[in-house]
Amino acid sequence: MGKKFRQFMGEIEGKILAGDSLSLQEALALNGKISLNDLPALFEISDRIREKSFSRRIKLCAITNAKSGYCSEDCIFCAQSLHHQAQVNSYPLLSAKQLIEKATQAEAMGVHCFSMVTSGHKIENPKEIECIIEAIQKINELFPSLSCSASLGTISFNTLIDLKHAGLQRYHHNLETSESFFPKVCTTHSFKQRRKTVEAAKAAGLQICSGGIFGLGETFQQRLELAFTLKELEVDSIPINFLHPVKGTRCEERGLIAALEALKTIAFFRLILPETNMYVCGGRQITLRSLQSWIFLAGANGMMVGNYLTTKGSPWSEDQTMIRDLGFIPSSKSS
């Protein structure tokens, strides 16, 4: 690394640690200058920024696929879309009792946040909402320190208010990708609709969990654009997913994003959003393989444990060992 580049990196770090924001132009300039050899220096910076905001605390979250398959939408990566021929276990909404059981299993792994995720563009059937409300109330009663989250697609403001009154703390709704790339990812609904849902959940007083999935063919600039939109929306936490190509979807032939490229993406998100919770979720194992523990050096301060929506995660004992080996402390407190 040349002296000039080292100085440039130092200036960027100094600026962020002093509380100033990185601009899109600066992030693009940094990406233009950085080579594979410079990545360790980038990770040193992203790690220090993570350390400053979150010390050695790691947040864990878990999800359950509360209603699977039969989705009318055509998201190119998704095995649950009716536009695809992927083999998925499709089923209607789980009962409140089953959702509570899933929350109990998640709580046993020490997660601070548990989310119920339903497939489909939206969920507005009153019976389904009633069932989710019953589950939220019971989960809050049983596990007061567990943050309850839901991911129910496009949703009305009034339903969001009902969920909040029932004890929902967080609404999850990924933007998935940048506005400029979104039409290549989904044609049955728009980026604006997704953004509106995030804004409605925020207006309802819920914490916002919103991020995206990488490796769909988007450029690095488009990843940065997503990071800046999430910054503008002031989301509370960002799930970072990497494509796990599933047979039968339009992404089945797409190769995996390179492990170092995935880590570089996390590091840039940390530089752009120094104080926002960042969880590495789907695609972690298949994309990062032996470099999984590097997600924290790259700047993530959390990860999803247990299974994903349609793919398997790691055994909890393996993730637990990884966190312990790094000397990090799993944080069970919601924030």
- Name the site residues for ligand SF4 (rule: CB under 6 A): 71, 73, 75, 78, 80-81, 119, 121
Of the pair 71, 96, the CB lying nearest ligand SF4 is at 71
| In the complex, minimum distance from the CB of residue 104 to ligand SF4, in angstroms, rounded to a whole number | 25
| In the complex, minimum distance from the CB of residue 43 to ligand SF4, in angstroms, rounded to a whole number | 30
Of the pair 217, 315, the CB lying nearest ligand SF4 is at 217
Burial-class residue 307 by CB neighbours within 10 Å (0-12, 13-18, 19+): middle
| In the complex, minimum distance from the CB of residue 151 to ligand SF4, in angstroms, rounded to a whole number | 9
Strand partners, 208: 171
Of the pair 22, 235, the CB lying nearest ligand SF4 is at 235
Q: Which residues contact 19 (CB under 8 A, 6 or more apart)?
A: none
Of the pair 64, 119, the CB lying nearest ligand SF4 is at 119
| In the complex, minimum distance from the CB of residue 70 to ligand SF4, in angstroms, rounded to a whole number | 9
Of the pair 75, 106, the CB lying nearest ligand SF4 is at 75
| In the complex, minimum distance from the CB of residue 34 to ligand SF4, in angstroms, rounded to a whole number | 31
- The CA distance from 19 to 94, in Å, is 45
Residue with tokens 């100033």: 20
Number of Cβ within a 10 Å radius of residue 321: 13
The CA-based dihedral angle spanning residues 194, 165, 100, 277, taken in that order and rounded to the nearest 10 degrees: 50
Taken in order 157, 159, 161, 164, is the CA torsion positive or negative?
negative
Of the pair 119, 197, the CB lying nearest ligand SF4 is at 119
| In the complex, minimum distance from the CB of residue 96 to ligand SF4, in angstroms, rounded to a whole number | 21
- The CA distance from 186 to 188, in Å, is 6
Q: Are 139 and 169 in contact (CB under 8 A)?
A: no
Strand partners, 213: 241
| In the complex, minimum distance from the CB of residue 69 to ligand SF4, in angstroms, rounded to a whole number | 8
| In the complex, minimum distance from the CB of residue 80 to ligand SF4, in angstroms, rounded to a whole number | 4
Q: Are 110 and 60 in contact (CB under 8 A)?
A: yes
Number of Cβ within a 10 Å radius of residue 2: 9
| In the complex, minimum distance from the CB of residue 105 to ligand SF4, in angstroms, rounded to a whole number | 22
Beta strands in the chain (DSSP E): 57-67, 113-118, 147-151, 170-172, 207-209, 212-214, 237-242, 277-280, 302-304, 329-331
Of the pair 80, 331, the CB lying nearest ligand SF4 is at 80
Of the pair 78, 139, the CB lying nearest ligand SF4 is at 78
Of the pair 47, 179, the CB lying nearest ligand SF4 is at 179
Strand partners, 149: 115, 170
- The CA distance from 32 to 51, in Å, is 26
- Which of 255, 228, 258 is CA-nearest to residue 244? 255
